[in-house]
Amino acid sequence: MHDQLQHDVLIIGSGAAGLSLAIKLADHTNVAVLSKEALIEGATLYAQGGVSAVLDEQDSIESHVEDTLTAGAGLCDPEIVRFVVERAHKSIDWLVNQGVDFTRSDETAGSNSPFHLHKEGGHSHRRIIHAADATGKEIETTLEACVRSHPNIDLFEHHIAVDLITAQKLGKSNDRCLGAYVLDVINNNINVFSARNVILATGGAGKAYLYTSNPDGCTGDGIAMAKRAGCRIANMEFIQFHPTCLYHPLAKSFLISEALRGEGAKLILENGDRFMHRYDSREELAPRDIVARAIDYEMKRLGHDCVYLDISHKSKGFIEQHFPTINKRCLELGFDMSFEPIPVVPAAHYTCGGVMINQNGQTDIPGLYAIGEVSSSGLHGANRMASNSLLECIVFAHAAFKHIRQSLAATNMPEKLPEWDESRVTDSDEEVVVSHNWDEIRRFMWDYVGIVRTTKRLQRAQNRIKLLKTEVTDYYGNFRISKDLVELRNLLLVAELIVESALRRKESRGLHYTVDFPVADTTDTAANTIIESIPSNDGHAAA
């Protein structure tokens, strides 16, 4: 038995959303931050493009709102879009005050902003503030330095949350999130963390797919835990596939930023022909769903493994200045962007749906918040516009901070919670089951639930999920858990949510395109796909 760890606030996740909230809260209360890997290892670290914000006099709040609503294909919440866009400038100011070193202006395109601004797909103006082509790394490492130096923040690296502890799961009538069971990966034991407030900042679920720009930890943990706790989950069919990941066997998950296309890079076929003009008048700067489908169609039409992105018309100096990270990696793999096109393919990139929240970041369960990619806030709708994701992280971190700070005094610390029960489990001697099932999920999700879908393919995926669910549930109930098993269990539930949501949507909209219903439904107001949840208490929870 281990001592229970008590904090006023437990933040599960250590990306831009989680660390921003921790910094804001730490001057007022004590905070615990869980990170399943090293503190900075997560999707934020690998974000290249930047943060969208109106920072130029030629731009406007109205234009940013309109662009976001257009990209979201009728499913954005207009109030939330305005709420986020109006707070973008202050969010940038806060990041700068923390020490984030954004690239300064070189008067490109006549901008009057002190910062250099990129233009990306779906945006009608230059409004992407960035730190060269490694914005996420600059933000994440800056925030990391802040949290490591704060005495009110306890950091727990290599700790993965297994499940949320709620009052309803403990048989009480008034539900509230009370904490979480957490696996210490290094010491291989389960600890109980109790808290007045719990925040899911766990990111998305790109690892549900075979090819993804996401790092290995993006296994949908927060979405799965929230679903098991009883939260509603929305719009999981809208998985964004980034149009351009580098195509090379050694270039695992390496993204080629949309900012290249913003600076004039063209998509071409093997013979040098351009093709985006056949799909959208905005050509390479169309929203990501359109570009990804166009590339997918051309690859399938021609039987090619990739298409190419050409920015060789720009000087070597320009490329080295604006895209140093991408240029370096391409050179390491034998591609010189200043001289030749580079091979690219689409890959799963962003989870637009997630745990339903309100403007404060609150979920359906009191005391439980969700911020960042794990959430469904209403900002992205059916297709996230480029560089609105890091913005969402910072804005909702502040919104959750304000609400938590106001409510802390009225919230009691939970009483002692039940310990994790391992009295009826044994050590596994069949770890191959976990790795095999993990691989199978990712392959059938790519084959059947990818950029272009059919009802038949979705049903095939659903049948595979049912079989695997029985196997994984049995395995989880009989053996001591490991990090891989926790992630597999979560990944399988998230895959089930994606498939169920996709089968429910009898139309094509935004990121969800199905051959069986190829046009958007115009007979009624566009509706969110909402999956209601019943709290489940499977596994080793001693409740």
**Could you tell me where the beta strands, DSSP code E, fall in 124-235?**
128-129, 153-157, 159-166, 177-184, 189-200, 233-234
Q: 200 and 186 in contact (C-beta within 8 Å)?
A: no
374: nearest Cα among 231, 486, 212: 231
Task: Provide CB contacts within 8 A for 316, sequence distance 6+.
Answer: 338
Q: 488 and 474 in contact (C-beta within 8 Å)?
A: no
65: nearest Cα among 373, 279, 379, 358: 379
3-class state of residue 520 by DSSP: coil
Query: Got the DSSP string for 234-287?
Result: E-TT-EEEEEEEE--TT-TT-B--THHHHTT-EEE-TTS-B-GGGT-TTGGGS-
CA distances from 221 to 382, 390, 444, 490, 493 (A): 22, 19, 20, 5, 9
- Report d(CA 426, CA 1) in Å as an integer: 17
Residue located via tokens 């899911």: 200
Of the listed 288, 442, 464, 509, which one is catalytic?
Answer: 288
Q: 347 and 241 in contact (C-beta within 8 Å)?
A: yes
> Other CB atoms closer than 10 Å to residue 150's CB: what's the count?
16
- Catalytic, 509? Answer no
Task: Provide CB contacts within 8 A for 2, sequence distance 6+.
Answer: 189, 190, 191, 192, 419
First to last CA, the chain: 16
The burial class, CB within 10 Å (0-12 / 13-18 / 19+), for 188 is exposed
Residue located via tokens 């637009």: 352
241: nearest Cα among 186, 189, 204, 194: 204
Q: Which residues are catalytic?
A: 288
